[in-house]
Amino acid sequence: MDWEDLRYFLALAQTGSLSGAARALRVNHATVSRRVAALEERLQVRLVERLPRSCRLTEMGVQVYEHALGIEGHAFAIERAVHARRAPLTGTVTLSAAPVLVDNFLAQRLGIFCERYPGIRLSLSAEAQNVSLSRREADVAVRMERPQEQSNVVRKLGTMGFALYASRDYVHLHKPVAWEFIVYGPQYEDMPQQRWLRRLAGSRNIVCEVGDITGQHAAARAGVGVAGLPSFLGEADEQLLRLPHDGESFGRELWLIVHQDLKRSQSVRAVMDFVIEIFSAADARIS
């Protein structure tokens, strides 16, 4: 068997469709279909039922999937072990965080890291969803909730506080009863900051829905309405004014995470120490 064929099969099994697997692997769906067909031909067994808009594992496909997961786990363990043993303070380290932190906080401090550690190439990955450290999708991550995976080592960085902001030119700036709120779309109704915004808005008008903080920030600057933004982002924008309100305060905990196999890698340790340092220095702004 070709491990690459197994990798494509795993992606198909995990996403449930050729298009989903193609997006996960960053290839076209024809490549996924060809790889899985090659695996089926080598094993002389049907692993996947191809439906019009999805794929379903056969009984044998389920068994192969369970074994393939174990193979994948060992493969990633080998990669982590090699990475941890590499020459100190060299190589690429991938740091994953929410887009708002990458775009508005981490990227602004990237020059300091590059000057301090010229041998390490720091790769910033802006991910709205949690990535898997076990699968080497990142080496280090900053998440907005405490992780539950037993294989990870975690440390709390602080709390990212949120507040209400609007443009200084917003027409209803001094009329709280007339505030119009900028919120996330319906697919984010279970997100903590969306629930907080909804509670604060109450019966007041929802003027628009924007799917990410960067877009909400832009809409607030344009005078569209009131947005709930991270305090460090709102306070840094002179065009925006922080709005007092009688509702509850809100924040998201920030956690630094590394897989336990990589915690002794000197290059990974350098990235972790740098992240801890810059978040500690900016504690007042983050909170």
Cβ within 8 Å of residue 13, ≥6 positions away: 48, 57, 61, 65, 68
Q: Strand pairing partners for 243?
A: 164
pTM score:
0.69
Q: Cα–Cα distance between 263 and 257 in angstroms, integer? A: 10
* DSSP letter, residue 107: G
> Two tokens at 35?
């790889």
Annotate 227-265 with DSSP letters as a single string.
Answer: EEEEHHHHHT-TTEEEEP-SS--EEEEEEEEEETTTTT-
C-alpha 8/C-alpha 21 separation (Å) is 7
- Tens-level pLDDT at each residue, the chain (287 residues): 777 888 899 989 989 888 888 888 888 888 989 999 999 998 999 999 988 788 889 999 899 988 888 887 777 777 767 656 655 778 899 999 999 999 999 999 999 999 999 999 999 999 888 888 888 889 999 999 888 877 888 999 999 999 999 999 999 999 999 999 999 998 899 999 999 999 999 999 999 999 899 999 999 999 999 999 999 999 999 999 999 998 889 999 999 999 888 878 889 999 999 999 999 887 645 55
**Of the candidates 248, 251, 247, which has an alpha carbon nearest to the alpha carbon of residue 285?**
251
